[in-house]
Amino acid sequence: MATESLPLFDGDNRPDYKSLGNSGLFVSELCLGTMTFGGDEDIWGLIGQLQQEQADELVKIALEAGINFIDTANIYGFGASERIVGQSLKNLGVRREDVVLATKVLGPMGAGPNARGASRGHIMSECKASLARLQTDYIDLYQIHGFDPATPIEETLEALNTLVQQGHVRYVGLSNWAAWQVMKAIGIIRARNLCPIISMQAYYTFVGRDLERDIIPMLESENVGLMVWSPLAGGYLSGKYEGPDVSEENRRAKFDFPPVNRERGSEVIKVMREIADGKQIDGEPVNVAQIALSWLLHQKPVTSIIVGAKRPEQLRDNIRAAQIRLSDDELAALDGVSRLPEEYPGWMMKMMAGYRDPVKPGE
């Protein structure tokens, strides 16, 4: 499948590109997720076992559709996903500067106590290993995959800063951190003049809007970009797990993650089906998964949505979701059925914010 150079998409339906957080790095609104690459008879095999030729086809489809953003992690397939991604770019003749490569570090890559976490030693050694697997001399976005309670945040941030200074990493991000943890990191960064955090990768869907309580307000306040993982809630929002045609032969039957409130979710899917009914893209009927992706693309805090796939037609369906435009009434209906119940201090803050409303003349 090698070519001299795979051209980037240049058509009428070119996706939007957005700057990632407070940076000059522009990424496509859809990001190719590669968790389905390289799995074996392990937890990663339950998600996907795509090998090189199959992965090459998905990467080619994504790039030709205008997606310039690819996300992986050292832990996916225990390094296999990174190796496949790096080889795909070589096989397809992609110029390194035409793609934004993101990977992550945290999970166990060996049996020892120091072969995991966000310590300086683990970060430095795993970055070197990721560069080799990806067959590149720099990573565009290097992310800490989760919070490590055993390592001081200062140590983690200093290690990331060293990688940026060495030129091995260009930008850094976080994933699966709480709002207070991100703000503590930002405070340390400002005090020590370290490289900034430009992105947060987090779970956000119709059936998982918890991000809206604290994390999204924090990201907007600090101008940190939001990358959404599992936008279909582990396939739940495809609609395959609700209704008369549900099959037990699916990923959630073996790996039920992320957790979903099924009672609440069934009402959400019902409204999604009603909105999808009658809509078409390029002559093809719109499905509920595309409605879920489109809703996320309508959310202002979202920079890029990570879409993965096992089959070419599945990826093409996900890509077409970017063409769907939801009306104000449709967005209101979707928000109404999926909105979080109010909790303290949210409801109190909303009430007391009224004290600062402008006073009208005569009142």
Q: Which residues are catalytic?
A: 76
CA distance 294 to 42: 32
CA distance 299 to 343: 21
CA distance 85 to 74: 11
Enclosing H/E stretch for 5: none
Residue 255 in tokens:
């790996």
> Which amino acid, one-letter code, is at 280?
Q
Question: How many CB atoms within 10 Å of residue 37?
Answer: 30
Question: How many CB atoms within 10 Å of residue 78?
Answer: 17
In whole angstroms, how far apart are CA 190 and each of 87, 177, 184, 296, 297? Answer: 38, 18, 10, 31, 31
**Helix boundaries (H) for 206-261:** 215-222, 251-254
**Helix boundaries (H) for 137-259:** 153-166, 179-192, 215-222, 251-254
Residue 28 in tokens:
């496509």
Nearest-5° angle of CA 318, CA 320, CA 228?
45
